Amino acid sequence: MTTETVPSAAADPFANQPHAIVERDGVRYTLLGTAHVSKDSVSAVRAAIASDDFDAVAVELDAQRLQALGNPETLANLDLVRVIREGKTALFAANLGLAAYQRRLAEQLGIEPGAELKAAADDARARGLPMHLVDRDVGVTFKRISARLGFFGRIRFVSGLLAGLFVDDEVGETEIEKLKQGDMLEASFGEFAQQSPALYDTLIAERDQYMAARLRETAGDARNLLAVVGAGHLKGLAQHLREDTEAPAAIVERLQALPEKSSIPWFTIALTLFVLGGFAWGFWRGGADVGTDLVLYWVLWTGGLGALGCAIAGGHPLSILGAFVASPVTPLHPALASGTVSALIEAWVRKPTHADFMALRNDVQTMRGWWRNRVARVLLNFFLTSLGTAVGVWTGGAKMLGALFG
């Protein structure tokens, strides 16, 4: 296997574009590094495919991102209730944050981020060339990031991505220049991606190796394959493509696997023992008055703050009632969340319309839009109810401790 750099020429579609060539197992892989916000990259991609030098094209996309680039109606066709039931509310919000960041870039630069990737997929299909999506599913990437970060790391991770939902400022020139040489997902997290080795490794290094394995896995009968990837992946991708000896299927399986969660929910068990044990201790040692006070502390603080969070989110009265009833119970159940209950009720009572979905990316750019748009309000319901319940758990627990040992 060999690696070379192609010299630039005026007629060369790769002129002034970062690229490399790796030959391995009888396949010549031409890696074209692109900027996700560059019209020049779109032109280079189209010129390369039009040259008829390649018999297959690979693109740094997964099926979900390709569908989002090519079909504006994708978001409008989403089943929000199903998203909530399947526990994917946070993932949906993260994807929305990424979409909002891309929208800001598109408005500022006059080009849709990832336009060169969409052009590669469209032109390959138009010419009848095999087209392979070689990037890892973005949902798997987010879940692997969450599993590798600690509690506070996850808070910063989510905060960094969701910040794009609330900020409508122009993207700075420094950030744009970094994006031209980097990766869209990495840029979406701002400085946190550079400060967190675990996040950088999962966002960039793992995907370099994953895409190299996918290129080897999907090459098939191709002998001259064009791979269109972000410039930030070019060096790592070429290195893995040259040097990896592990079977590509094994690499793909390993980098798609999600760390298994502990089958024993220790925190929930400990909390349940504390709460129920506290109730029993209170009734046994202090009688009905003390026991009743402990129950009221727990119910009023968790239920009250959960309901308050729902109310701040503009929840329907039934959603607020659901939050109040669910918040004292759900912390003691490993598979339930008060935010899920209130969000489901909100989505059922005030079912989002097609217009809500279509206006979502614009509405979340303003504070007023979050409360006006029914989809955004469901998300607010989920997060603020969950936050209120969490604060209630600690506050109610502290009150119980004070009553038990005061």
pLDDT for the residue numbered 128: 94
**pLDDT value, residue 369:** 86
Is residue 7 very low, low, confident or very high in pLDDT (cuts 50, 70, 90)? Answer: very low
Counting residues of the chain whose pLDDT is more than 70, the rounded percentage is 78
pLDDT at 5: 41
pLDDT mean over 139-156: 75
Say if residue 124's pLDDT is above 70: yes
Q: Which H or E element spans position 139? A: helix 138-148
- Indicate the pLDDT class of residue 267, thresholds 50, 70 and 90: confident
Strands across the sheet containing 224-230: 2-4, 19-24, 27-34, 224-230, 56-59, 131-133
Q: Tell me: pLDDT of 180 over 60.
A: no
Higher pLDDT among residues 242 and 200, named by residue: 242
Position 342 scores a pLDDT of: 95
| Distance from C-alpha of 330 to C-alpha of 296, rounded to nearest angstrom | 16
Instruction: Name the average pLDDT for the chain.
Output: 82
Structure confidence at residue 3 (pLDDT): 47
Q: What's the confidence (pLDDT) of residue 125?
A: 94
Q: Do residues 370 and 376 make contact, with C-beta atoms less than 8 angstroms apart?
A: yes
CA nearest neighbour of 238 among 62, 17, 24? 24
Q: What is the pLDDT of residue 371?
A: 92
Instruction: State the average pLDDT over residues 176-184.
Output: 56
Kindly tell me the burial class for residue 323, based on how many C-beta atoms sit within 10 Å of its own C-beta (0-12, 13-18, 19 or more). buried
Higher pLDDT, 150 or 230: 230
- Please spell the DSSP secondary structure of 99-115, one letter per residue: HHHHHHHHHHHSS-TTH
Predicted pLDDT of residue 230: 86
Higher pLDDT, 215 or 142: 215
Question: Under a CB-based contact definition with an 8 Å cutoff, are residues 34 and 41 in contact?
Answer: yes
- Picking from 258, 233, 250, the residue whose alpha carbon sits closest to that of residue 145 is 258
Domains in the chain: boundaries: 2-256, 266-405
pLDDT band at 4 (very low <50, low <70, confident <90, very high): very low
